[in-house]
Structure 1
């Protein structure tokens, strides 16, 4: 399983921040030690893509008074980043023209995760969308796009869905009943989408559970839709990167990593599971809805 360079980049950034703050050194001073700009050093600690050399890491380790094991960890993470980049991760770069600005970060997290929980109140998650369902959403969101541009966007969605067949990957979809009842694209499109969800729910790595509209306890409605990414251990360092929460917004996307924030959404997911139908009962409901759409 390939996790790309997202996880080791995040782990390296977290380790550098911990060492820097332990020594009460500012980011500006750290950037001078690494002989890079403050902006580049900031991206390094944020786990974003930026160049870093072993020479710079050794200089930082010296300035931070790192132990031998801490120094080896920094250099090992840098090697993991380079190895991941050399393995050809980041398939979405060939679709740059079809991806919204900033969404490559979401795709990198999705690719790196081994467990994704998606709570949706209105729209089928991208990993489970049929092509025609996504086409209807795309035309609604981007009415001025050409047919060729729309097809490129649909190709990205279809390519993302390869994750569902990756060994060790688990996708948990928690959906409000409204998601399968909205007539996105018309009755025929929604009937096909509901049947596709039923088929996908039979896969070992996919679990789909519906919160029925009859549920009187409105869990999840106040929180709104969100996605929770959980990650495997890094292969060499064996570090465990903390989960990330994603919330989509019309004016911009929000990524949350602070423990208190992640825990709130993790608790919300547990509460939603408590009121959701079982996978079997959810399939029965989706089958009824599919027939109603037809």
Structure 2
């Protein structure tokens, strides 16, 4: 995975699909134009890694009767893909053997996002987890994992959290109060985790808010945990990709991109924000949980 290339690839695929369908050309027909397989062309429209040379883009632009503005946009997006930063890509490659294959796409979206909203009903979000909290989760899911491999997983988690030091990145965590009542790794690990949440909530670009059990709206009970990625404009083309919603499952993950689906999650996010405690009251609840219920 080339770090930073996820968004321009998605934008390029979206534009190619729009132009192809406008001209009533099938994917098979488009594949024949650039002398490749339908599967390879399909990957191009899906925003997956494949060749994006100017020769290929111009051939498609000709076949799809793109005007000058549309052609320039396609070429700008292809250039952004090729010039995407590679520094973080080396980080992910170094940890490739401990990253679940399906999680690569999540990492690409997380790197590219300018704003992330995470609604969690049982666990602290990964970007806010302490090393020991995450260690307890890894051992619970993979009790036979070799210790050295566990440490590499934890190293990756810590590297991901460097995003929080970027003032242009905004992270909004909305947590069910239930999260505060699950002991992960024992009282000591859990209380340290909650202290960490309090500290992180003081960072200007990080918000931690709790939806209390007494919330008037039950919307949080009806919605599974999810992460919503929002994106800023791409540097050259200035295109803004629509949000993507990630819903994690025990045996499979969902990435939702259709407007009708994403709009529903945008609406739910707002409703959750409406019933969540303010940040100061959320910190007070975290501190009360540490001091009283964890016996300190």
TM-score (normalizing by structure 2):
0.96
Contact map agreement 1:35 1:56 (CA 8 A) in 2: no
Q: Which residue of 1 aligns with 2:202?
A: 202
RMSD: 1.3
Instruction: Report matched runs for 1:29-68 at 5 Å.
Output: 29-68=29-68
Q: Which residue of 2 aligns with 1:150?
A: 150
Asked if 1:236 corresponds to 2:228, the answer is: no
Please give the alpha-carbon distance, in whole angstroms, between the structure 1 residues aligned to 2:274 and 2:30: 47
Asked if 1:132 corresponds to 2:122, the answer is: no
Q: Which residue of 1 aligns with 2:75?
A: 75
Q: Which residue of 1 aligns with 2:102?
A: 102
Q: In the superposition, relative to structure 1, how do residues 204 and 284 fare at CA in structure 2: closer, same or farther (>3 Å)?
A: same
Q: Which residue of 1 aligns with 2:190?
A: 190
Aligned residues: 292
* Secondary structure in 2 matching 1:84: coil
CA deviations over 1:64-89 (Å, ceiling 9, x no partner)? 0011111111111111111115x434
CA deviations over 1:166-221 (Å, ceiling 9, x no partner)? 12100000000111220011000010000000000000000000011222432122
Please give the alpha-carbon distance, in whole angstroms, between the structure 2 residues aligned to 1:279 and 1:31: 52
Identify unmatched segments of 5+ residues in structure 1.
none
Q: Which residue of 1 aligns with 2:87?
A: 88
* Secondary structure in 1 matching 2:288: helix
Aligned structure 1 segments of 4 or more residues deviating by more than 4 angstroms = none
CA deviations over 1:23-62 (Å, ceiling 9, x no partner)? 0111111111121111111111111111222111111111
Please give the alpha-carbon distance, in whole angstroms, between the structure 2 residues aligned to 1:89 and 1:147: 25
Please give the alpha-carbon distance, in whole angstroms, between the structure 1 residues aligned to 2:145 and 2:190: 23
CA deviations over 1:247-272 (Å, ceiling 9, x no partner)? 00112110001111000001001111
Contact map agreement 1:17 1:45 (CA 8 A) in 2: yes
Please give the alpha-carbon distance, in whole angstroms, between the structure 2 residues aligned to 1:132 and 1:4: 29
Q: Which residue of 2 aligns with 1:16?
A: 16
* Secondary structure in 2 matching 1:117: strand
Please give the alpha-carbon distance, in whole angstroms, between the structure 1 residues aligned to 2:122 and 2:143: 20
Contact map agreement 2:216 2:275 (CA 8 A) in 1: no
Please give the alpha-carbon distance, in whole angstroms, between the structure 2 residues aligned to 1:275 and 1:266: 15
